[in-house]
Chains A and B, each alone.
Chain A
């Protein structure tokens, strides 16, 4: 944990969609390591480094809320774009939202706050100019100043994440009393293996007094 960071993230709403319930989205009880990595990468990331989530501290009680929205039913077809590029105009290339509408409910989290503990490794794409200290400094500097590459979000982009660096000497914020004890959150998405066509990997999330230990991605506990 020499190059570890601790980041507090919080927001009014969050949706860490369960892959098995993604049509009418239902959120996991807590943030997934994958979403936590996304938040950190929104602040600082380079191909030379890879972030690993070590621990997730859940600070607030877990509460849900439901919201239903009109969404579009289909995605932009690449073939249609190609046709339009050839024709050189955009006339045909539209999607009429009210002819292709789906109403979807989402069961989302309310008032979430987490502390993410993470560290990074240098990857094979690191060159001589990349040192661990450098990237750690960049991250800490950005997180301290509130800088980011793009606004980090809690699962989906309509739920922005606030964040704050927890300095090394600083105490961790306390977890809500309701979360004491051991809670089995079941199988949860760990992350995707992008080297193998985005295969999802899962792990058994156990929350102990609000703290989830995240096993290393390539470890025994993580199943594809």
Chain B
């Protein structure tokens, strides 16, 4: 499978209703906030995790689509057994001194693991070939308007320890955002894709994973999350035909209900406008959602 021949950028919009899209470990798992603007944040790695989870689910055991960075919740026992069987930690860290050998290992990793091929991976070798830089890069997602995190206290009718029995119930807390529309920018470099073998099929899978990113990631904490819009900018050439920021600027998210800069209530409060005339020659736009 040959690698892609076009550079891409994409704007991905998703929203959350009564949920916590990405907790901040520094703030007791409150939704992440940009302290300067009070806009909500979702880190790049949070979204990459969901892409990995989707691909793992969609391509279960299909060869060439293994996921290197696994989450336990999607772990299957067979994997675990194999892991334990092989789990003897090798001591020698600088093993492949031989460049050629290291390159072969890297190639093999790229061929077999979707996430290594897509996002790259650092492998413990002293030689350069042990590091893969993936073609797909995501930035932080940030909400269009400021969000107001709420702390919701909840109760549980059971207790964990027997000695707490007379307390009857325990209190817990949930942090939610009533509503937030988030925007994230992504980049796909054709040149790096050629180095890792990231193919047209992989690209389609990436778009699929973004479209379905939240459909298989339901949980008590997340609330209702939905992918709202995915706009691709396809450059005619490998290196690209226009600056990325110029393309991103053609997508404007306008507030149509309520004062701009105040927290929104729902997706109906926004209108997404694509300035088709401002798209430079050599770049085509596609809206996948």
CB–CB A151/B244 < 8 A: yes
Which residues of A114-154 are within 8 A (CB) of B? 142, 145-151, 153
Interface string of A149-192 (1 = CB under 8 A from B): 11101000111101110000000000000000000000000000
Please tell me if A92 contacts chain B, counting CB pairs below 8 Å. yes
Please tell me if B43 contacts chain A, counting CB pairs below 8 Å. yes
**Looking at the complex, which of B13-21, B75-83, B209-217, B259-267 is the stretch in contact with chain A?**
B75-83
CB–CB A146/B242 < 8 A: yes
Q: Contacts A97-B69, A147-B240, A150-B191; is A75 near B105 (CB within 8 Å)?
A: no
Please tell me if A99 contacts chain B, counting CB pairs below 8 Å. yes
The range of chain B's interface size is: 35 or more
The range of chain A's interface size is: 35 or more
CB–CB A78/B105 < 8 A: yes
Please tell me if B36 contacts chain A, counting CB pairs below 8 Å. yes
By a CB distance below 8 angstroms, the chain B residues around A142 are 239
Q: Which residue of B lies closest to A68 (CB)?
A: B26
Q: How far is the CB of B26 from chain A (nearest CB, A)?
A: 4
CB–CB A78/B71 < 8 A: no
Please tell me if A199 contacts chain B, counting CB pairs below 8 Å. no
Q: Contacts A79-B95, A94-B79; is A149 near B239 (CB within 8 Å)?
A: yes
By a CB distance below 8 angstroms, the chain B residues around A99 are 72
Q: How far is the CB of A77 from chain B (nearest CB, A)?
A: 5
In the complex the two chains form, what is the Cα distance from A216 to B192 in whole Å?
Answer: 30
By a CB distance below 8 angstroms, the chain A residues around B192 are 149-150
Please tell me if B149 contacts chain A, counting CB pairs below 8 Å. no
CB–CB B135/A163 < 8 A: no
**Looking at the complex, which of A48-56, A81-89, A202-210 is the stretch in contact with chain B?**
A81-89
Please tell me if A222 contacts chain B, counting CB pairs below 8 Å. no
CB–CB B189/A149 < 8 A: yes
